[in-house]
């Protein structure tokens, strides 16, 4: 295919502050044109020419409660445009997934309305504590789907509407300041940080045949995201850091009447780095250890023949970590059908850096 795009944009932003209230608002205007010319297998021409003029307002209100606490409220309109590969109508065989991948020349841009509110607390010494609540409304979101008319072929499509909502907690603490221990060098040199987000996403599928639910998660959206890190750094140029991150199971390929959804099972990554500087920080040696858990990457299809009947606290846990009260989106060994199972090893490296 032959393709090109042009983007002309401009924006205005204003900042007004009255006592402890700061208001930042503005408008971005984008004129975007996208063109793609190709041919189908039968030689017929494919000409995609899209042009959109979009007005993207945003507003942020920051209310200072005192010297180290804020409340933030924000709203904005954003866009997600299809890539050329998603628009181009040709297909190719993916040997890693054993699926054919093809584009869709009818894709439209997605529009996203973002609303969120956040509480911020800054205890000092670079520390941070925040709690956020957010809502995102999608119009015409783009999803990766299994074509309903062809077996084992992946394409893309717009769905009418979707909504994401949830909360995020973030912490960054110096252990010496947290435990008020100025004399303990180990605590003073140790920084702890983490963030945890729970996201509920819903796409209306009440009219779809063959599904037991009225809604499903947005393709590619995990119900939770978790990151955790610890860093220890001394005055004699030693640095040790450990990081853990994981995301919940998510739909990798949206199914059709020919085949069920394909899910990507959640995995947890643990990384470790040890570094030491020499010669007045001119020479640095790093030992990196990545993916220490080496969990398999598993894609699976859920077996919904027996729906779960969890109650009480179990339903709440299922809702947070698996996206619905039944929790049947989780991977169950021996019950769900494995599509791909890939084993990844651990990675170890030694890096030496010298600054002249």
pLDDT in tens, 332-341: 888 899 999 9
**Residue 16 structure tokens:** 């007004």
Q: What is the mean pLDDT of residues 207-221?
A: 75
Interatomic CA distance for residues 138 and 72, integer angstroms: 22
Residue 306 pLDDT grade (very low, low, confident, very high; cuts 50, 70, 90): low
pLDDT attached to residue 110:
95
Whether the pLDDT of residue 305 is over 80: the answer is no
Q: What rounded mean pLDDT belongs to the chain?
A: 90
Q: Of the spans 230-239, 303-312, 323-332, which averages the highest pLDDT?
A: 230-239
Phi, psi of 240 (to 5 degrees): -130, 130
Non-local CB neighbours of 42 within 8 Å, separated by 6+ positions: none
Residue 111 pLDDT grade (very low, low, confident, very high; cuts 50, 70, 90): very high
Q: What is the mean pLDDT of residues 243-255?
A: 94
Residue 223 pLDDT grade (very low, low, confident, very high; cuts 50, 70, 90): very high
Buried b (16+ CB within 10 A) or exposed e, 292-304: beebeebbbbbeb
Whether the pLDDT of residue 209 is over 70: the answer is no
pLDDT attached to residue 259:
82
Residue 177 pLDDT grade (very low, low, confident, very high; cuts 50, 70, 90): confident
Residue 173 pLDDT grade (very low, low, confident, very high; cuts 50, 70, 90): very high
Which range has the worst mean pLDDT, 32-46, 209-223, 247-261, 271-285? 209-223
Rg (Cα) of the chain, in Å, rounded?
25
Which range has the worst mean pLDDT, 117-131, 176-190, 235-249? 176-190
Interatomic CA distance for residues 228 and 172, integer angstroms: 10
In the DSSP assignment, the letter for residue 60 is E
Q: Which residue has the tokens 């998603």?
A: 86
Cβ–Cβ < 8 Å for 243, 292 = no
Residue 307 pLDDT grade (very low, low, confident, very high; cuts 50, 70, 90): low
pLDDT attached to residue 218:
94
pTM of the full predicted structure? 0.88
pLDDT attached to residue 137:
97
Interatomic CA distance for residues 18 and 60, integer angstroms: 14
Q: What is the mean pLDDT of residues 192-213?
A: 81
The string of pLDDT tens digits covering residues 2-30 is 899 999 999 999 999 988 999 999 999 99
Task: Provide, rounded to the nearest whole percent, the portion of the chain with pLDDT above 70.
Answer: 96
Please, how many CA atoms are within 13 Å of residue 94, restricted to the half-sphere of its CB? 12
Whether the pLDDT of residue 231 is over 90: the answer is yes
Phi, psi of 317 (to 5 degrees): -65, -45
pLDDT attached to residue 143:
94
The string of pLDDT tens digits covering residues 83-110 is 988 988 888 888 888 889 998 989 999 9
Cβ–Cβ < 8 Å for 250, 265 = no
Whether the pLDDT of residue 212 is over 90: the answer is no
Which range has the worst mean pLDDT, 112-121, 145-154, 285-294? 145-154
Q: 261 or 209: whose pLDDT is higher?
A: 261
Which range has the worst mean pLDDT, 123-127, 213-217, 286-290? 213-217
Phi, psi of 271 (to 5 degrees): -120, 150
Which range has the worst mean pLDDT, 47-51, 225-229, 241-245, 289-293? 47-51
Number of H helices, E strands in the chain: 4, 22
């Amino acid at each position: 295919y032959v393709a090109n795009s042009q983007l002309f944009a401009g924006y205005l932003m204003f900042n007004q502050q009255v006592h402890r209230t700061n208001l930042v608002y503005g408008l971005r205007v984008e004129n975007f044109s996208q063109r793609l010319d190709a041919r189908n297998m039968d030689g017929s021409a494919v000409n995609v020419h899209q042009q959109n003029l979009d007005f993207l307002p945003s507003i942020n209100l920051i209310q200072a409660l005192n010297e180290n606490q804020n409340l933030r409220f924000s709203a904005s309109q954003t866009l997600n445009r299809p890539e050329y590969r998603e628009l181009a109508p040709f297909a190719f065989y993916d040997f890693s997934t054993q699926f054919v991948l093809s584009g869709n020349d009818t894709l439209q841009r997605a529009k996203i309305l973002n609303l969120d509110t956040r509480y911020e607390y800054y205890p000092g010494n670079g520390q941070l504590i925040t709690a956020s609540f957010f809502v995102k409304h999608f119009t015409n979101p783009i999803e990766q789907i299994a074509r309903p008319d062809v077996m084992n072929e992946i394409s893309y499509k717009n769905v009418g509407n979707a909504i994401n909502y949830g909360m995020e907690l973030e912490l960054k603490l110096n252990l010496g300041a947290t435990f008020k221990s100025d004399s303990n060098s180990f605590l003073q040199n140790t920084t702890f940080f983490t963030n945890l987000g729970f996201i509920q996403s819903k796409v209306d599928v009440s009219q779809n045949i063959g599904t037991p639910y009225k809604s499903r998660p947005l393709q590619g959206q995990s119900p939770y995201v978790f990151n955790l890190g610890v860093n220890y750094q001394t005055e004699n140029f030693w640095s040790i850091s450990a990081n853990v991150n994981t995301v919940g199971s998510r739909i990798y390929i949206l199914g059709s009447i020919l085949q069920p959804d394909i899910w990507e099972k959640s995995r947890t990554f643990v990384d470790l780095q040890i570094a030491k500087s020499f010669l007045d920080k001119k020479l640095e040696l790093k030992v990196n250890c990545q993916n220490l858990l080496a969990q398999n990457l598993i894609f699976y299809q859920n077996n919904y023949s027996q729906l779960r009947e969890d109650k009480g606290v179990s339903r709440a846990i299922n809702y947070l970590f698996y996206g619905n009260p039944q929790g049947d989106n989780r991977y169950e060994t021996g019950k769900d059908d494995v599509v791909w199972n890939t084993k990844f090893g651990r990675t170890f490296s030694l890096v030496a850096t010298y600054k002249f």
